[in-house]
Structure formats: C-alpha cells, structure tokens
Amino acid sequence: MRLQEQDHDVFRVLSAERRRQREGVELIPSENYVSEAVLDAMGSIFTNKYSEGYPGRRYYGGNENVDDVERLAQDRAKRLFGVPHANVQPYSGSPANLAVYVATCQSGETIMGQNLPDGGHLTHGWKVSVTGTYYRSVPYHVKPDGYIDVDEVGRLAREHKPKLIWCGATAYVRELPFEKIAAVADAVGAFFAADIAHVAGLVLAGVHTSPVPYAHIVTTTTHKTLRGPRGAMILVTEKGLQRDPDLAEKIDRAIFPGLQGGPHDHTTAGIAVALGEAMQSGFKDYGRQIVANAKTLAHGLIERGFTLVTGGTDNHMMLIDLTPGGPGRGVFLQEALDRVGITVNKNTIPGEPSSAFYPSGIRLGTPAATTRGMRQPEMERIAAWIALVADAIKDYQLPTDQPSRGAVLRDFRRAIQENRHLEAVRADVREFCLKFPVAGT
C-alpha cells in the first residue's frame, strides 16, 4: 500500500513540503536538490538491510549486493578526489569529523579550528560541542576584513602545539587557505584535516582549490554543493598515509566499531549515484555556474545598499551584515523573507555584537537555485526582492532588554503576515519559482 492510502497525515505533510519547495527560492547554502535517481536510491530496498562492518568483512549475511554498492561509492570517491582511501559510511558530517578526532587524538589533547562565530563549524572545537569539551580547543579567528588570520593560526600553533588542525567552515565566503594552514600544521607536527563539506562540489568543478595535496585527511558531507543525499565521507590522502601508514585503518575503526553501528545502505547507494553524476562533464559547468550566480547575487545586494562580509564572495555563499540597521536583526530579515518564499538563515557575523540566538547577519547561497536552472538574470531579480523585503521591515529593531523581545517579535510576525506589499512579493516569487522545476515534486 502506498503512502497516500496508508498514512494520510504524513502524506499531507509531505505534500505541503513539496509545495513549499516548488513555490519558494531556497538560498540556504548548505541545502540543495537531489536528482530523481538519487531519490530512487534513497527510497530503495537497501533500506531493509543491516551491514555492520566493511565490504568483504561484514557481521551479517546477505551483504553481497551492499558490498558492491559500497565499493562502487568508494571507488568513485577515490577517482573523483584523487585519494587512495575513502570511507563512505559516516551518517553525516558531524560523526565524520568526530571520527577524525578518534583516529588522531587522545582525549584532552590540543586541537585547533576556526572559531564558530567567525564562520567555523561546531565540530571544529566549539565549546558546547563534544569536540570542545573532550579536547582542548584553541580557536583561531578572522581578521576585521573577514579573512582567516593565517598569522594568528601560526602563532597559536607554535604556542600550543596542537595534535590536529582543521581548515573548513560553515560560513566563510572566501577561498579556504589550505596550503598556508598545511604549512603551519607541518611546522608543528600536527595532523591537518580539511573539512570541505560546503565546497566539495566546487573542488570537483575546479572552481575552488583542492585540499588533497596539502591535507592528511579530508572530510565532506555528500549534500550541499555535491548534490547528493545527507551523508558524509572521510578521505585519506597520500600525504596522510606517508605521515601514518595505518591512518586509513584508524579512520575505518573510528567509524566502525568506534562511533557507529550498521551503515545506512540506502544512503550509500544514493552517494554512489551522486558521485556518478559528479563524474559527468556537465557537473563542472554546474559548479562554475554556482559561483557565477553567487557573484551576481552578491553584486546585486551591494548595489542595493547591503553590507557583505569581506565585500563579496569567492564561492557559493555570502554573509549580509545587518548591523548598519542595528544589532540582532538577522531573525527579522530571515522571517520576513520566509513570508515571501525566500529561504535563508540567520547567522552570526565576525565580531557579532548580539548573540547566536539573535544574530546580526543572514547567510545565503546559490547551490539549490542553480540546480533548478536559475542563472544571473534570476539572481538580479532575487536581489531586488531581498531589498524590497528589507526595506519593508527597516523600522523593526531588536530590544536591548531581553524580556521585551518576545512581545516585539510577536508584533513583528503578525505585521508581516498582514503586510500587503509582502503578500504581493510572495505572489511574484511563487509565479517565478514555478517556472523552475524541482526533482521529485
């Protein structure tokens, strides 16, 4: 029995989500749309199987087909990225990164990563993450211009002698300085791990430097710019094996049995499909178009008076700094854009004057819009809509006294629902989006 007949409640929610995705512009830079083929693999009968272990070394029987699809995903990852070893079993980026710690560090040893409010990732040693409590985290920062302070990385590394240094980010709009940070790691004898979750697809397209010649270990999610299912991979490079010939085995043991049980075989199949798509010639064109769209959108926003962190972008994302209108305004613009069908996320900016709950920035990017076939003219139109929405809410400010914030936000949310100008923009966005299909909807 199919879902529509079996469970009306779940079917109703899925239908609403299909409609939301069709009728809105997805600008969250960590999101994308998978192909029909990836959806088929994710919804396949591989969902039924349990496969603890690795190909040829399983703890369960009946895994000959799972072995084939996992080997296929591994081989495609190794060929695409030019590495000797790939583990495709991590459930997502966070356990993939944790496995790197388990494979290279002992609890309490010093690690370094980019500070979270400066655009880094939670799993690179932020204080509320297990990576910042089980290990001694020494974060590095960006300079006032928004670029990573490589001089500070070197100074901190020489002072603290970390066991592991990360380079990678969740909200960094410029090219990641893999070679420079690798030189720091080599100088102090640290393992160097590159987290390319956001830029993996751009690396394969040749529009972002590859970390493979410089890093010992590379981690990545398989969605975002790679346009696959929500999973992850850990890649061990030739440099990594030269540093430690057992590194690949240590990574594999860290994933299983160290951190995970049976892999999600349907996700492995989806990863294999996505990597096969990345091998096609059109994928490089796609990656180039993501960056071209991001630069056009950034230019359009700047022309309309927005302040962008670093003044632009090298990759797929940008950060709008809303502090010229007052601190903590990210939540207002995010929710007002949601009202018209443009999805972004509120985000901290370097030197954040407010908090992570009420940040002063907006993070947005172009992978999903590019997948739908949107190009530079559409980015110009989106920039104009964002400016219209921002102007419509310019008088709203985040109160400095916390108790009054709830009342102000309730009034704001009621006002944007009743705003006729925003309703008109919503109609325009809906009509615009329906011209650009979304796979699976």
User: What structural domains does the chain harbor?
Assistant: 40-278 (3.40.640.10), 284-433 (3.90.1150.10)
Half-sphere exposure of 244 (CA within 13 A, CB side): 16
Q: What's the rounded Cα separation, in Å, for the pair 437 and 43?
A: 21
What's the confidence (pLDDT) of residue 403? 86
- Looking at residue 285, its amino acid is D
Q: DSSP letters of 328-387?
A: T-HHHHHHHHHHHTEE-EEE--TT-SS-SSS-SEEEEESHHHHHTT--HHHHHHHHHHHH
- Which are the catalytic amino acids? 50, 52, 195, 221, 224, 230
Asked whether the beta carbons of 86 and 234 are under 8 A apart, the reply is: yes
Q: What's the rounded Cα separation, in Å, for the pair 407 and 415?
A: 12
What's the confidence (pLDDT) of residue 309? 98
Strand, coil or helix: 12: helix
Scan for tokens 């010229």, then name that residue. Answer: 324
Closest listed residue to residue 316, CA positions, set 129, 174, 416, 415: 174
What's the confidence (pLDDT) of residue 5? 92
What's the confidence (pLDDT) of residue 250? 98
Closest listed residue to residue 318, CA positions, set 394, 373, 369: 369
Mean pLDDT (10-residue bins), the chain, 441 residues: 92 96 98 97 97 97 98 98 98 98 98 96 96 97 97 98 98 98 98 98 98 98 98 98 98 98 98 98 97 98 98 98 95 98 96 93 98 98 98 93 90 96 97 94 79
What's the confidence (pLDDT) of residue 402? 85
What's the confidence (pLDDT) of residue 84? 98
Tell me how crowded residue 10 is: count the other CB atoms within 10 A of its CB: 11
Q: What's the rounded Cα separation, in Å, for the pair 204 and 187?
A: 28
Asked whether the beta carbons of 252 and 102 are under 8 A apart, the reply is: no
362 phi, psi to nearest 5 deg:
-130, 130
Asked whether the beta carbons of 233 and 220 are under 8 A apart, the reply is: yes
What's the confidence (pLDDT) of residue 29? 97
